[in-house]
Structure 1
Amino acid sequence: MKAPDEPAGPMRAIRGRRPGALLLGLAGLFLLPGPGAARLAESDLARVALAPAPGARVPMALALTDAAAGPTTLGAALGGRASLLLPLDYTCENVCDPMLAMSAAALQASGLVPGRDVGFVLVGLDPRDGVEAARHLLRAQSVDSARALVGDAQGIAQLTEALGYRYAVDGETGRIAHPAAAVLLTPDGSVARILSPLALNGRDLRLALIEAGEGRGSTLGDRLTLLCYGYDAVRGVYTPLVNRILSLMAAATVIALGLGILLLHRRSIRGSGA
């Protein structure tokens, strides 16, 4: 995996707002270059989006096949951890390749270990792609930290419906126009955030995963950072919460002054006793 850190970009939070505005249909234009793009009508491409409903949760019991370990369920693949779920077309070489590579690089930069601290799970969108297609993509991008899953048409439909993940398939070429997006899940499979895998950096991904995991795998520095920073849904990065930082600094100043006064008072008592 390549070294980080790419500049942070437009992640989109879904907490506290209706996610219908999370329209990522432009990704489909990149996935169908040249003549392939013309075969899908604008109305088809306009429906390409990722818009989870409030409280959306993935089907944890969904039966899938792990390209490395065989039959499994989505819940088993997530492993009870905050996870980065990346829906992909395993045979797409336009956007899916860099999506996987950049996500893996951001995870590496985060310092969190997939399979131990967090989950990193890929799910194929095309039921015609089997485990060999998934393995080929992992080898091509030199990624060994992700669990690549494949499923049948019914299972993929169940997952994408639960996520509000809408894509379009060109009936002539078989190409798929889909959102260039990753889904951040809590340990119970609930959708926490929608992220742009093409604009991730290690720090922001680490903070997002720690938030989704309710502090699991965090250090004291992470907790202090989350205390002083908040997720900016417009810019897609964690930015300083100025009022909170000023309050903490003021409190620290008061404590320091109090300790100083106490120390001087003790010294004066010792001096008068002498």
Structure 2
Amino acid sequence: MAGSAQTSMRFIKNLSSPTPDAAPVFRPLIAAVLTILCGVLPSAGPARARLVQADLARVAAAPAPGARVPLDLAVTDARTDQATTLGRALGGRAALLLPVDYTCGNVCDPMLSMAADALAATGLAAEDYAWVLVGIDPRDDSAAARRMLKETLGQRAAGIRPLIASEAAVATLTAALGYTAIYDAGTDSFAHPAAAMLLTGDGRVARVLSPLALTGRDLRLALTEAGEGQVGGLADRLALLCYGYDAARGLYTPLVERILTVAGIATILGIAVLIFGLIHRTRRRAA
């Protein structure tokens, strides 16, 4: 079983870093495979206890409409071991928040790596947004968080705020997010959703995205939307007119009707400008 688990982990790491040309094709497959492995791999090993289907059915990330994170939630910054609050970590910016298990060896590492790749591909400046991790296992300490960042991301982890929270604080945050993870004592691991929360500057949950199938375009659109005019440019806000959020897939998809409407308006405006220019030129020649 140990050899099988090691082989599976190598398979995950290979899948999490496809070649640029293959990435758009493989990402949906990666998402499906890793979501399955998240529930299967923790059972590898000598322990016999396993979560039953009823337990796994409770694993979800489904925030209520208008859900907000508690900005005054007491947490510890794992980089400095200093006490702070979730609000200070977010800094009033649009934020990507990932609940993670800092000692998870199955899905969290690829999830973190793919999110880092997607953020790098957005082309946004680091100061435009916040990237915050919150540990869902209150037994994990700052050393575990720093070790995960170093081993998974290396230099790419520079802008991340890894946070540690008490059991009560974790329960408060996950309840606010509608985020349910189930602990399996037999394997000493969590079955948890592979989900990334997009927050507005005031802590409202704007979107729930799939970090396992996330692209730079999707994340840029999500941060632009969550930034409420503070992130991205005019082109990004115009793009949001043509793309809609697909909650079932956790991605932004083209909206054909909107695209046709925008294209139609642009065509009419173009024709109007052309006619106006021709009339103006004709009058100037007549004068």
Which shifted more, 91-100 or 141-150? Answer: 141-150
Matches within 5 A, 1:146-161: 146-161=160-175
Cα 1:176–1:239 shift into 2, 3 Å: closer
Describe the shift of the 1:257–1:55 C-alpha distance in structure 2 as closer, same or farther (beyond 3 A).
closer
Matched residues in 1 for 2:97 and 2:91: separation?
12
1:184 maps to: 198
Structure 1 position 238 matched with structure 2 position 252: yes
- Residue 58 of structure 1 and its aligned partner are, at CA, apart by 0.9
Identify the match of residue 179 of structure 2 among 162, 165, 178.
165
CA contact under 8 A between 2:210 and 2:251: conserved in structure 1? no
Match of 2:106 among 83, 90, 94: 94
Letter in 1 for 2:163: L
Aligned length: 259
Which secondary structure does the structure 2 equivalent of 1:244 belong to?
Answer: helix
* Counterparts in 2 of 1:219 and 1:94: CA distance versus 1, 3 Å: same
Whether the 8 Å contact between 2:124 and 2:232 is mirrored in structure 1 is no
Aligned to 2:224: 210
TM-score normalised by L of structure 1: 0.84
Cα displacement (A) at 1:84: 0.9
Give the direction of change, closer, same or farther, for the CA distance of 1:257–1:166 in structure 2 (3 Å limit). Answer: closer
Q: Distance in 2 between matches of 1:42 and 1:241?
A: 36
Using the size of structure 2 for normalisation, the TM-score is 0.81
> Taking structure 1 as reference, are residues 63 and 238 closer, same or farther at Cα in structure 2, changes over 3 Å only?
same
Residue of structure 2 in register with 1:121 after alignment: 132
1:263: which partner in 2? 277
- 2:256 corresponds to 1:251: no
Q: For residue 13 of structure 1, what is the aligned residue in structure 2?
A: none
- CA gap of 1:230–1:40, structure 2 versus 1, over 3 A, is closer
Q: Which residue of 2 aligns with 1:67?
A: 78
Note if contact 2:49-2:187 (Cα within 8 Å) is conserved in structure 1.
Answer: no
Measured in 1, the distance between the counterparts of 2:263 and 2:170 equals: 50
Residue pair 1:82, 1:119 contacting (<8 A) in 2 also: yes
> 1:137 and 2:153 equivalent?
no
Structure number with higher relative contact order (C-alpha < 8 Å, ≥ 6 residues apart): 1
- What code does the residue aligned with 1:94 have? N
Q: Distance in 2 between matches of 1:180 and 1:237?
A: 14
Counterpart CA distance in 2 for 1:25 and 1:9 is: 11
Show the counterpart of 1:103: 115
Checking the alignment, whether the CA contact within 8 Å between 2:48 and 2:186 is kept in structure 1 is: no
